[in-house]
Structure 1
Amino acid sequence: MTSEHPYPAAFRSGDLVTVSGRLGVTGTGELAAGGFAAECVQAFANLDAALGSVGASRADVVKVVAYLTDISDRAGLNRVYEEFFAEPRPARSCVGAAALPYGGVVEVEAIARVRDV
């Protein structure tokens, strides 16, 4: 039986971690209610969970790519990004997308490097 998603939420190879795109979907499988702001916060919470699943944290993130169906939501993305990441924040790209899965309005993916102490 194949799952709906034939890829992991996150993949670790040595000290490199890649996180597949995370939407603003709640634990019930529905998009977070409340529009862009709610979906964006949920997408970053889902990014956090994916990082944790492979022994990484947001402090390990070096690059984020965000996809928005309305590029004018970039200022809202920036607010959530600033709250989510401590200084120095990782590099970030923001890309306009015609559509996202499940009708989402924001999706985030990341690359991290885990440093063993």
Structure 2
Amino acid sequence: MSQVYQSDAAPQFPLPFSHAVRTGDYVFISGQVGVDPQSLVPLGDIAAETRQCINNIEAVLVSCGLTLDHIVRVATHLADMNEQSIYNEVYSQMIKAPYPTRITVGSSLGSFRIEMEAIAYAPSTRQIV
């Protein structure tokens, strides 16, 4: 059986998706964008939107009883791949080593600069072996 999570602290878009679904030991977090959760307005630059995007993912993880350290996989969509170095700088400040596996691709995101989705492993956090 799968468990569905919605976080009051994450943006509430009128779209047909759950913030997260837990199936077994894995939690799949839907794509989050860099918007203020109350206003749903993008924050304007890639650094601010990346920070808010990760904060929104963290809010969803907290509703599942997890932290950013439980993430094992991240998929990131950037509207402008020229902003990847700024994204990487903010990402490495907020997501601590050892890092999850990751892919970053360029995508058409409308008014958003970034969208990130994640997979978390509930029983433990990332560790170097």
Q: TM-score, normalised by structure 1?
A: 0.87
Unaligned runs of 5+ in 1: none
| 2:22 alignment partner, SS class | strand
| 1:27 alignment partner, SS class | coil
Unaligned runs of 5+ in 2: 1-12, 125-129
CA contact (8 A) 2:81 2:105 kept: yes
Shift of 1:32: 4.0
Specify the code of the residue in structure 2 equivalent to 1:50: V
Tell me which of 73, 96, 112 is aligned to 2:106. Answer: 96
**Aligned counterpart, 1:73:** 83
Aligned residues: 112
Mapped to 2, the partners of 1:34 and 1:69 lie a distance apart of 13
Q: Which shifted more, 70-79 or 34-43?
A: 34-43
**Aligned counterpart, 2:123:** 115
Mapped to 1, the partners of 2:24 and 2:62 lie a distance apart of 15
- Residues 46-85 of structure 1 show CA distances to partners (whole Å, capped at 9, x for unaligned) of 0101111112211110010110010011101111111111
Higher share of residues assigned helix:
1
Shift of 1:35: 1.5
CA contact (8 A) 2:27 2:121 kept: yes
Specify the code of the residue in structure 2 equivalent to 1:45: N
Mapped to 2, the partners of 1:104 and 1:25 lie a distance apart of 8
- Aligned structure 1 segments of 4 or more residues deviating by more than 4 angstroms: none
| 1:62 alignment partner, SS class | strand
| 2:116 alignment partner, SS class | strand
Specify the code of the residue in structure 2 equivalent to 1:109: E
- Residues 12-59 of structure 1 show CA distances to partners (whole Å, capped at 9, x for unaligned) of 112100000000111223334342111111001001011111122111
Does 2:47 match 1:51?
no
**Aligned counterpart, 1:12:** 22
Q: TM-score, normalised by structure 2?
A: 0.80
**Aligned counterpart, 1:106:** 114
